[in-house]
Amino acid sequence: EADIYQTPRYLVIGTGKKITLECSQTMGHDKMYWYQQDPGMELHLIHYSYGVNSTEKGDLSSESTVSRIRTEHFPLTLESARPSHTSQYLCASTRGGFTEAFFGQGTRLTVV
Amino acid sequence: KQEVTQIPAALSVPEGENLVLNCSFTDSAIYNLQWFRQDPGKGLTSLLLIQSSQREQTSGRLNASLDKSSGRSTLYIAASQPGDSATYLCAAYNQGGKLIFGQGTELSVKP
């Protein structure tokens, strides 16, 4: 079983609130990723990090931001949540390049 | 630009049947391909990783093949069970080291 954890699993929040989705892994992986997935749709990469203090935007534009201060921790923040941010957010990690990716259980975010 | 396509989008089979899920990719210069399983509302569970130099990989009742020249990968599930019901996703690594996902095949195995 993969040692990558996301909290919270479910979050319902009002428009305009600031939120942080947590992602932690205990495998010592250097690369970490955030994907966004709408119901019944494919996963889209929104952020990735190749190591501490390294973050890049993914292929899908997102108003969220990320940070990577510690190897094991890759939080995602929305400064002002909007209904259009309602989605499932999935965190993943890999060791090095092109290796097996492990995913967390996801955070299902609903903005009302 | 790498694009990944999975057909069919949904598949329903009776228990015990052997089945094949298809995945095609546009750029034959892939750097490994991974199959995942996703249960409703959950994250992804890794099933198999096929390295670009391999032609197939096996785990239990699952066998995945990779044909780079034709841009195809297949996931073979033997003796399907109701517990196999889930969405199956394939993802190909592009040159930049990012996983590009297909839309998935939703599998339903009827008892």
pLDDT in tens, B77-109: 999 999 999 999 999 998 888 899 999 999 999
pLDDT for residue A41: 87
**Residues B20-25, mean pLDDT to the nearest whole number:** 96
Cβ within 8 Å, pair B45-A105: no
Residues of chain B that touch chain A, judged by Cβ-Cβ distance less than 8 Å:
31-32, 34, 36, 41-46, 49, 52, 89, 91, 93, 97-99, 101-104
Best mutation site among A98, A99, A109, A110 for testing chain B: the one with the most B CBs within 10 Å? Answer: A98
**Of B57, B95, B96, the residue nearest B73 (C-alpha):** B57
CA distance A61 to chain B (A): 15
B48-80: pLDDT as tens digits: 999 988 999 999 999 999 999 999 999 999 999
Cβ within 8 Å, pair B44-A92: yes
**Closest CB from A58, A100, A105 relative to B43:** A105
**Residues B3-32, mean pLDDT to the nearest whole number:** 93
Please indicate whether residue A39 or residue B20 has the higher confidence score (pLDDT). Answer: B20
Rounded to an integer, what distance in angstroms lies between the CA atom of residue A94 and that of residue A50? Answer: 9
Residue B18 pLDDT > 80: yes
Chain centroid to Cα B8, Å, comes to 12
pLDDT for residue B27: 84
Cβ within 8 Å, pair A43-B98: no
pLDDT tens sequence for chain A (112 residues)? 569 999 999 999 999 999 999 999 999 999 999 999 998 888 999 999 999 999 999 988 889 999 999 999 999 999 999 999 999 999 999 998 889 999 999 999 999 9
- Which residues in chain A are contacts of B9 at CB distance < 8 A? none
- Which residues in chain A are contacts of B23 at CB distance < 8 A? none
What is the strand order of the sheet B72-77 is part of? B4-7, B19-25, B72-77, B62-67, B56-59
Best mutation site among B36, B39, B42 for testing chain A: the one with the most A CBs within 10 Å? Answer: B42
pLDDT for residue A1: 59
Helix (H, G, I), strand (E, B) or coil at A42: coil
Residue B42 pLDDT > 90: no
